[in-house]
Amino acid sequence: MIQDFFLELAAVIVLATLLGFLFRKLKQPILLAFIFAGIILGSSFLNVITYKELLHVFSELGVAFLLFLVGINLDLRIFREIGKTSVITGIGQIVFTTLVGFGIASLLGFGFLESLYIAIALTFSSTIIIVKLLSDKKELNSLYGKISIGFLLVQDFVAIVVLIFISSFSFSTDLTSQLSQFVFSLVVLFLLFFIASKFLVKRIFDSLSKNQELLFLGAVSWCFAFSAVAIFLGFSKEIGAFLAGVSIASLPYTYEVLGKLKYLRDFFIVLFFVVLGSNLVFAASDIIFARAIILSIFVLVGNPIIVFILMAKLGYRGRTSFLSSLTVAQISEFSLILIFLGAKVGHVSNEVVSIITLVAVATISASTYLIIYNNKLYDHLSNFLPILRSKRFFEDSLHLVEDKEYSLVCLGFGETGKRIFVDKKMNEKDVLVVDFDPRALKEASKLNFHTLYGDVSDLETIDFILKVKPKVVVSTVMGVDSNIVLTKKLLQKNSRIKLVVLAHDVSDARKLNAAGIEFVLVPSIITADKVKTVLQDIKAGRNFELNWFKDTEFNYGHDYSLK
C-alpha cells in the first residue's frame, strides 16, 4: 500500500510540476495548474487517484499551513493607513455581492442553503493572487493598490468568521443549542488565544529562537497545538491554525518562520488544489458548465461594478475606482475552502463544489489578464464610458495648493522624497508635493511644503501638474507604467520640463530611458557605488564617517524615518 501510494503521489507531483511550468509560461496563477492536474488524474479522466483519503489528509495540512502563514502576515496596522475606505468598500461589496449572488443562485434552481453558500463564496477575492500580481507590476504602493489590499483584508476577516461559524455546525442538536454552543466555544477559543498571545508566546519563542531547528519545530508545534484546541472546542483545524499565526505575528522571528514554513505550505497546498480538481463532477456537465458560466460572468462583471460604484460614492476618481474594482474580479482560496467545508458538513452537494471550482478556474484566469493590462483597458474604455473620466475630489483638506507656479514638483513624499527636498537651503514654497498617502501629505505640510492629493498615474493629476508650469519634476514613485504615462503626457504638452525618475532596476531604467526620460536613477546602483567607495576607504586606511546614518533610526519591520 505504501509503495502504491508513493507512486500515486509521485504522479501527482510530477504532473503538477509540468502543468505549473506551462501555466507560468502562459502567465497564469500556478494554482490553476494544480486544479487541472487533479481534473486529469481524477475519476473523470485517467482515474489515477485512488488513495483519496491519504491525499485528503495531506491537502488539509496544506490549508492549515496556508492559514497559519496568512495569520502571521496579518498586520492590523494597515487599517490605520488606508482608513475607512477599505472597510466601507470591503463590507459594502460583501453585502451587495451576497444579495445579488443569492438571487442569481436561486434563479438557477439551487435551494436556500446552497444559494447562500454560493453567494458568500462569490464575495471573496484572492488576496494572495492580487498581492502577487500587483507586486509583479510594482503597483503595491499605488493608491489603488493600497486600497485594494485593504478591502481584501476585510474580506479575509469576514471569511475567517464565516469559516468559524460553519466549522461549529453539528446535526446532533437543534439550532438554538448549536448557536449557544458556538458562542460559548468562540468565547473560550478567543480567551485562550488572548492568554497565549499575552503571556506565553513571547517566552516560548524567545527560548526556541536560540536554535533554528527548534524554531522551525516550535512554529509547527504551535500551529498544531492551536489546531488541536480548535478541534476540541468544535471548530475546524484551519481556524486554530489561523489564530496560531496571528498570535505570533508581532514577534521578531516571523520572517524566519515564514521563510522556513512557506515551502512546506507550498508542497501541501498543491495537494489541496489537486484534490479539489479530482473531485470535479462532470456528470450532466452541460448544466454544470452553464451555471458556472453565469456565475463567472457575475464575478467578472458584477463584482467590479459594485466596487466601482462604492468607491465613486466615496469620492474617488474614475481611474482609481476602475483599477481597484478589477481586483475583485475573481474568487479566492477562501471561497474554495468555504465550499469544501460546506460539503464536509453536508450543506452543499458535490455538484456545487464542482461549479464553484470551475468559477474559480474561469475567474482567476480572466482576472489575471484584466489586472496585467488594467491601465490599457482603462485608457481604451474611458474613451467610450464618460463615467470613467468624471472628476471627483477626495479629502479636500489635503489640497494645500496656492494659485501660483512651482519650479519643482515632487511625486511621492516617502523616505526618498524627504531626503531629496528637506534641505535648509531649499525654498519650500517653490516645491509642490504630490502623493496619495494622507500621512505623507500631512507631514509635508508640517514642513511648509504645498501639497496635492493625487496619484501620479491619474491623468487629472498630470493635468494639474502642467498648470503649475514646473521646471523640474522628480518622481520617486518607482512604477514603470505610471512614469511612462507621466512622461508622455508632460513632454507632449511641455517638452522643456526636466524629468528625474527613480527605477527599481536596470531593466526598468532602460524602459524609462527609451520612453524619453533623460535622467533615470537606480538606487541600488547608487548604493553599490557608495559601498565600493567605503570599502576602498577601509582598504586604504582612510578615515570616513557615515554622517547620513546618524540622523536615521530603524524600527524592525518599518521604513527608515527622519527624526
pLDDT string in tens for the chain (563-residue length)? 667 778 888 888 888 889 989 988 877 777 778 878 888 887 767 777 777 777 777 877 877 787 787 777 665 555 555 567 778 888 888 999 999 999 999 998 888 889 999 999 999 888 767 876 777 676 766 778 778 877 887 887 788 778 767 766 544 445 566 667 777 877 888 888 888 888 888 888 888 877 778 888 888 888 888 888 888 887 767 778 878 888 887 777 777 777 778 778 778 878 877 887 776 655 556 778 888 899 999 999 999 999 998 888 877 777 788 888 998 998 887 788 888 888 877 888 888 888 888 888 888 888 888 888 888 888 788 777 777 766 554 444 445 566 677 888 888 887 777 777 776 556 666 788 888 766 677 778 778 788 887 777 666 677 778 887 888 888 887 777 777 877 877 777 777 788 888 887 888 888 888 877 878 888 878 878 788 877 887 877 766 555 444 444 333 333 333 32
Q: What is the pLDDT at residue 102?
A: 93
Are β-strands 561-562 and 552-553 bridged in parallel, bridged antiparallel, or unpaired? antiparallel
Residue 456 burial by CB count (10 A; 0-12/13-18/19+): exposed, middle or buried?
buried
Name the residue among 256, 379, 402, 363 with its Cα closest to residue 322: 379
- Reduced to 3 states (helix: H, G, I; strand: E, B; else coil), residue 123 is coil
Helix axes 318-326, 374-381, angle to 10 degrees: 130
- Reduced to 3 states (helix: H, G, I; strand: E, B; else coil), residue 394 is coil
CB 295 within 8 A of CB 104: yes
| Domain 2-381 part of CATH 1.10.10.520 | no
E strand spans, 260-392 = none
Which cell numbers in the block locate residue 302? 458584477
Residues whose CB falls within 8 Å of the CB of residue 46, separated by 6 or more in sequence, listed in order: 40
**286-301: b (≥16 Cβ within 10 Å) or e:** eebeebbeebbebbbe
Are β-strands 472-475 and 561-562 bridged in parallel, bridged antiparallel, or unpaired? unpaired
- Residues 204-220 have pLDDT tens digits of 888 887 777 888 888 88
Query: What are the C-alpha distances in Å from 554 to residues 121, 421, 481, 551?
Result: 42, 21, 31, 10
Name the residue among 208, 224, 275, 312 with its Cα closest to residue 31: 275
CA 437 to chain centre: 18
C-alpha neighbours within 13 Å on the C-beta side of residue 262: 10
> How many Cβ atoms are within 10 Å of 319's Cβ, its own excluded?
23
- Residues 80-135 have pLDDT tens digits of 555 677 788 888 889 999 999 999 999 988 888 899 999 999 998 887 678 767 77
Pick the CATH number of 396-562 from 3.90.230.10, 3.30.930.10, 3.40.1440.10, 3.40.50.720: 3.40.50.720
Are β-strands 472-475 and 498-502 bridged in parallel, bridged antiparallel, or unpaired? parallel
CB 468 within 8 A of CB 415: no
- How far is residue 543's CA from residue 280's CA, in Å, rounded to a whole number? 70
- How far is residue 314's CA from residue 143's CA, in Å, rounded to a whole number? 14
The amino acid that residue 499 corresponds to is L
- How far is residue 122's CA from residue 356's CA, in Å, rounded to a whole number? 8
In the chain, where the domains are located: 2-381, 396-562
Which cell numbers in the block locate residue 305? 461594478
First-to-last C-alpha distance (Å) of the chain? 65
- How far is residue 236's CA from residue 165's CA, in Å, rounded to a whole number? 10
